[in-house]
Structures are given as structure tokens and as C-alpha cells.
């Protein structure tokens, strides 16, 4: 049962990211505010009109929940997805099932005035059902760092917190630039990010993903830089590309992902294995397009260079 749950969680994460890659660049911000009414265009390209700033919010995507907190509106969240675990205050929120287990009746029963969905974690029919109940829906999607900025900006507009969203974005940009400065002149190493382990069929990240951008930012070379988006890869590809560092993001399939990777017999000649450069990354920070991408970049830098 535990293995099945682990598989479902990993597969859910992979397909959420793969789907995000396909059309995340559609996210844009527009505003037509009057004294009481304003409009925001979400990641569907749909313009949503608000008669007042939302006071009762449900967020069903962990990255969006983290953004809402970063904007200072965590107190407005009345419920979140059961996968929302950061910041710690999320423990005090009512948990609602998401994805294929989403109960629209449960959402409507909470009487929110805004529900924030992840575009590919849910279905168009679910969006429509909530909207038909008279509840505003904002749908988000982000594959790249720039897409992440756009979602933060969009949610800032929704919450009447444009100045704060600009502050968060500018803070992220400054932190990223600081890391770039630290990296200057340092050697470049080849890195493999394992999104899903061999037991489920290894998946990794290619260009157009925020993980690939983070690796570039810290001066590393993604061994799958020539691959688009998030895709399944083979063990043979990993072995032949011989990474100097391996970062595992799976937290569910095995109690010790580092030992599992180090114990793969056919991988024994990979540099990362021979030199004991296999790390378990903060999976949440490295797989959620939100403010903590900065933390993910700092972790990559620290483990590669310090």
C-alpha cells in the first residue's frame, strides 16, 4: 500500500510538471480596476472579474499556497490541498483532496469567494462546476522561473497586493543575481536531477523547466539540457552522460533515496557515485514554482561548491 501511494504521488508530480510545460507561458496579468471592480486574466487566458478583494480562499496547489503566504494573505486561506505543507501554518488549515479525488461539493460547502486551482492538476469541468456555483476561480500554471514571476504578479493583483508581489519578485531576482555573482569563475559540473526514481522509471528535467534554469543559474550543466521539458529517461542515458552530481527529489518511494541510488550496481562507474556526490534535495523547494525556488538554488550551490 505504501509503495502504491508513493507511486501515485510521484506520478502526480511528474504529470503536473509535464502538463505545466505545455502551456504555462499563457499566464499574463491584466487589470481594469474601478472603485469596487477589477479584472485579472489567469493561466487559462480567462478574465475573472472581482467585486471585492477575496476574503475566503481555497488553494489546491502547494506552490500557490506558498505564494499566498508570501504575499501576506495566509490568514485568508480557509482550506488547502492535503499536499500543502509549507509554511507550518498550513497544518492549521482544513485539508481538501485535490487532483482526481477532488470533491467539488466539499469545496462549495466551505463557501469560499475564491478557489485557486493548478491548471493541469484539475479538469475544466471542475473549474466550471465551481464557477457555476457563483465562486470565482483563478487557474495557475508555471513551468519556468519567468512563469513563476507572472503567477506571483497575477495572484498579487487578485489579492490587491501588487506592491507586495513586486517586492517578492524583486527579492527573488536579487537573490538569484547574488548566486550568479558567487558562481562566477567556479568550475562547471554535470548534474543529474532525478525527479522519479528507477523503481517507477526514471524521469528528469530538460530545457524549459525551472529546474534546468536553476542548474544553469548555479553554473552547473544539466546532463539532459538537450531534452525538452520533463520526460522519462533511461538508466543507460544517465550512465553514458556520467554526471558529477546527482540530486534526488523523491521522498516517498524509499526511506533512504541516497542509499538506493548509491546501491545501483550498474551505476558504480558514474562519477557522482564514485565520489559520493549523491544528495537528497529539498523536493518541495525544487519542484514547486514559487518563492522557495531561491532556497532550491541556494541548496544546489551549497552542495556543489561548499
The verdict on 35 and 174 lying in the same domain is yes
The verdict on 168 and 217 lying in the same domain is no
pLDDT of residue 266: 97
pLDDT of residue 205: 97
What is the rounded average pLDDT for all residues in the chain?
90
Non-local CB neighbours of 106 within 8 Å, separated by 6+ positions: 96, 97
28 confidence band (pLDDT: 50, 70, 90):
very low
In 10 A of CB 45, how many CB atoms? 11
The verdict on 174 and 194 lying in the same domain is no
Q: Average pLDDT in the 208-229 region?
A: 97
Length of the chain: 306
For residues 191 and 306, which has the higher predicted lDDT (pLDDT)? 191
pLDDT of residue 99: 86
The verdict on 173 and 232 lying in the same domain is no
Please indicate, yes or no, if residue 226 is contained in any of the structural domains: yes
- Using CA atoms, how far apart are residues 269 and 240, in angstroms rounded to an integer? 10
pLDDT at 303 over 90: yes
Overall domain count for the chain: 2
The verdict on 47 and 153 lying in the same domain is yes
Structure confidence by residue, pLDDT tens digits, 74-129: 999 999 999 999 999 999 999 999 988 999 999 999 999 999 999 988 999 999 99
200 confidence band (pLDDT: 50, 70, 90):
confident
Non-local CB neighbours of 67 within 8 Å, separated by 6+ positions: 151, 152, 155, 168, 290, 291
The verdict on 156 and 40 lying in the same domain is yes
| CB-CB contact of 244 with 253 (8 Å) | no
The verdict on 138 and 117 lying in the same domain is yes
Please indicate, yes or no, if residue 5 is contained in any of the structural domains: no
- Using CA atoms, how far apart are residues 282 and 295, in angstroms rounded to an integer? 9
Q: Average pLDDT in the 230-253 region?
A: 93
Please indicate, yes or no, if residue 214 is contained in any of the structural domains: yes
The verdict on 76 and 57 lying in the same domain is yes
The verdict on 283 and 245 lying in the same domain is yes
The verdict on 171 and 193 lying in the same domain is no
15 confidence band (pLDDT: 50, 70, 90):
very low
Phi, psi of 7 (to 5 degrees): -60, -45
Query: Of 138, 153, 179, which residue sits at a domain end?
Result: 179
- Using CA atoms, how far apart are residues 195 and 201, in angstroms rounded to an integer? 10
254 confidence band (pLDDT: 50, 70, 90):
confident
The verdict on 28 and 174 lying in the same domain is yes
Place of cell 522519479: 196
Domain boundaries, position 300 = 185-305
Query: Of 115, 147, 179, which residue sits at a domain end?
Result: 179
17 confidence band (pLDDT: 50, 70, 90):
low
270 three-state secondary structure: coil
pLDDT at 139 over 80: yes
Query: Of 145, 179, 213, which residue sits at a domain end?
Result: 179
Domain of 146, CATH number, reads: 3.40.50.1980
The verdict on 203 and 297 lying in the same domain is yes
Amino acid at each position: 500500500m505504501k509503495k502504491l501511494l508513493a507511486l501515485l504521488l510521484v506520478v502526480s508530480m511528474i504529470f503536473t510538471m509535464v502538463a505545466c510545460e505545455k502551456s504555462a507561458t499563457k499566464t499574463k496579468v491584466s487589470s481594469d480596476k474601478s472603485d469596487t471592480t477589477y479584472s485579472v486574466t489567469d493561466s487559462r487566458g480567462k478574465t475573472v472579474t472581482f467585486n471585492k478583494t477575496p476574503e475566503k480562499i481555497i488553494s489546491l496547489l502547494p506552490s500557490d499556497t506558498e505564494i499566498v503566504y508570501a504575499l501576506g494573505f495566509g490568514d485568508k486561506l480557509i482550506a488547502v490541498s492535503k499536499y500543502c505543507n509549507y509554511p507550518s501554518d498550513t497544518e492549521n488549515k482544513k485539508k481538501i483532496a485535490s487532483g482526481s479525488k477532488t470533491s467539488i461539493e466539499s469545496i462549495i460547502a466551505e463557501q469560499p469567494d475564491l478557489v485557486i486551482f493548478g491548471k493541469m492538476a484539475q479538469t475544466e469541468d471542475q473549474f466550471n462546476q465551481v464557477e457555476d456555483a457563483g465562486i470565482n476561480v483563478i487557474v495557475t500554471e508555471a513551468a519556468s522561473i519567468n512563469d513563476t514571476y507572472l503567477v506571483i504578479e497575477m495572484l498579487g493583483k487578485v489579492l490587491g497586493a501588487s506592491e507586495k508581489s513586486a517586492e517578492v519578485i524583486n527579492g527573488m531576482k536579487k537573490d538569484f543575481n547574488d548566486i550568479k555573482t558567487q558562481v562566477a569563475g567556479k568550475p562547471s559540473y554535470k548534474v543529474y536531477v532525478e525527479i522519479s526514481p528507477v523503481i517507477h522509471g526514471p524521469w528528469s528535467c530538460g530545457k524549459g523547466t525551472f529546474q534546468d534554469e536553476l542548474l544553469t543559474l548555479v553554473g552547473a550543466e544539466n546532463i539532459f539540457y538537450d531534452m525538452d521539458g520533463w520526460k522519462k529517461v533511461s538508466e543507460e542515458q544517465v550512465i553514458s552522460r556520467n554526471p558529477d552530481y546527482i540530486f534526488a527529489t523523491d521522498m516517498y518511494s524509499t526511506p533512504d533515496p541516497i542509499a538506493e541510488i548509491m546501491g545501483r550496481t550498474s551505476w558504480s562507474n558514474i562519477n557522482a557515485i564514485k565520489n559520493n556526490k549523491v544528495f537528497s534535495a529539498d523536493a518541495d523547494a525544487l519542484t514547486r514554482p514559487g518563492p522557495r525556488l531561491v532556497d532550491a538554488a541556494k541548496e544546489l550551490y551549497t552542495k556543489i561548491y561548499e
